[in-house]
Amino acid sequence: MIIYEDRTLRDIATFVTEKIATMEGVLSTTTHFILKKYKANGIIYDNPNTDDRQAIIL
């Protein structure tokens, strides 16, 4: 397993196809994406109780 970060999905795909898939002994690859972390190692990154919406009074 590796963790790889890059700027675009195309850059990640290029890395996997050109670097990982061409290695001897690699039979297949599977890619998973983390789009946003909400919690890791017991630490919550986003407070769901915070409401940033601006109040509109009619």
**What whole-number distance in Å separates Cα of residue 50 and Cα of residue 5?**
29
Instruction: For residue range 1-57, list pLDDT tens digits in order.
Output: 899 999 998 999 999 999 999 999 999 999 998 877 778 888 877 766 666 778 788
pLDDT at 10: 94
Range list of β-strands (E), the chain: 39-40, 43-44
pLDDT at 47: 63
The two tokens of residue 45 are: 């990154």
Kindly report the pTM of this predicted structure.
0.57
Instruction: For residue range 38-47, list pLDDT tens digits in order.
Output: 788 888 777 6
| Segment holding 14, helix H or strand E | helix 9-15
